[in-house]
Structure 1
Amino acid sequence: MSYLRSLVAVVLVLFSVSAMADKVATLSVQQALLSSKSAENFRAKLKSEFGSEQKKLVELEAQAKKMQQDMQKSQGTQSKEVADKQRLQFQKVFSEYQRLGQELQQKQRDREQAFLQEMRPKLDAVIRKLIESKGYDLVINKQATIYAKPELDITQTVIDLLNKQ
């Protein structure tokens, strides 16, 4: 019941705000950022920058899986010393796999954060320019809307303007 009340309150607020606004638009900021040419170039750059580390990670994963399969196949047919040696080798490879995976993820997150910080002022400028030139009274986050007519969505326009920069 409280969910319904909250929903009704949000709808009433949006209705009253949009009733006062002459020109309304929706925008998916995340989609605009991620669909831009700058984001495509960034993803390609990341792929080339971290390609060798990603390849090593895949190789370590394959090596660990093979070692695990070999240990399972030979379980009970070898001496305790050989089994312990295999287990130790597996743990060493698996630990290296985990370490490298975490390190790679952190590097990628850091680079993504730097990209977003670099793009945010450009995105804000494009949005401000569009709001001023088109005379929007209200721009709503597209993800926060339950329904909006497709023609209210300015996301593609923002992407096009970002790509022109």
Structure 2
Amino acid sequence: MLRIFYSLTALLFAISFSFASEKIVFIDIQKIVTSSKAGISAQAELEAQAKRFKEEIEKKQKAGESPSQIQAFAEEKQRELMEKRQKVAQKFMKTLQKAITEYSKSKGYKLVLDKNSLLYGKPELDVTDDFLKFFDEKYSTVK
């Protein structure tokens, strides 16, 4: 019985040691979205389009168009804005995934997690700031 206990203990120690030697880190994706040059650029693009749509609606109101026409126009512009937002988000996330892969390979990381899905992570495993620098250098905008 004691041999089994020692064998299991040795096995658990070996497993925990192998995981400790792996390079596992995490990145705060939300911070990258809101703080990166590409994220700020994408958000500014969406805000500019929303402003243009609002101005178009105001022009129609001043021109005296009927409320039902203005409502239909506003709904159409809202749909367009939502579609644009979805496309921009998809492009951004695709670019972000590519950048994370490049970054991880260059650093030799085996696993990169999103900070917002972690229950706990040692602060020294947070590479958000380093990744943000990398991302800003390589991807100032999303194409």
AA paired with 1:34?
T
1:34–1:40 CA contact under 8 A, matched in 2: yes
Count of aligned positions: 120
Give the secondary structure class of the aligned counterpart of 1:25.
strand
In structure 1, the partner of 2:50 is: 50
In 2, the alpha carbon distance for the partners of 1:18 and 1:139 equals 19
In structure 2, the partner of 1:163 is: 136
In 2, the alpha carbon distance for the partners of 1:163 and 1:97 equals 41
Which residue of 110, 113, 116 corresponds with 2:83? 110
Within a 5 Å distance, the mapping from 1:70-81 to structure 2 comes to none
Deviation for aligned residue 1:160: 1.9
* Largest Rg, 1 or 2: 1
Give the secondary structure class of the aligned counterpart of 2:120.
coil
In 1, the alpha carbon distance for the partners of 2:73 and 2:34 equals 26
In 2, the alpha carbon distance for the partners of 1:51 and 1:139 equals 37
CA RMSD of aligned residues (A): 3.3
Which residue of 135, 139, 143 corresponds with 2:116? 143
Deviation for aligned residue 1:46: 2.5
Deviation for aligned residue 1:101: 4.3
In 2, the alpha carbon distance for the partners of 1:104 and 1:152 equals 44
Instruction: State, as a whole percentage, how many aligned pairs show the same letter.
Output: 25
In 1, the alpha carbon distance for the partners of 2:82 and 2:136 equals 23
AA paired with 1:164?
E
In 2, the alpha carbon distance for the partners of 1:108 and 1:18 equals 50
In structure 1, the partner of 2:95 is: 122
Unpaired runs of at least 5, structure 2 = 1-14, 61-65, 139-143
In 2, the alpha carbon distance for the partners of 1:48 and 1:17 equals 51
TM-score (norm 1): 0.55
Give the secondary structure class of the aligned counterpart of 2:26.
strand
TM-score (norm 2): 0.62
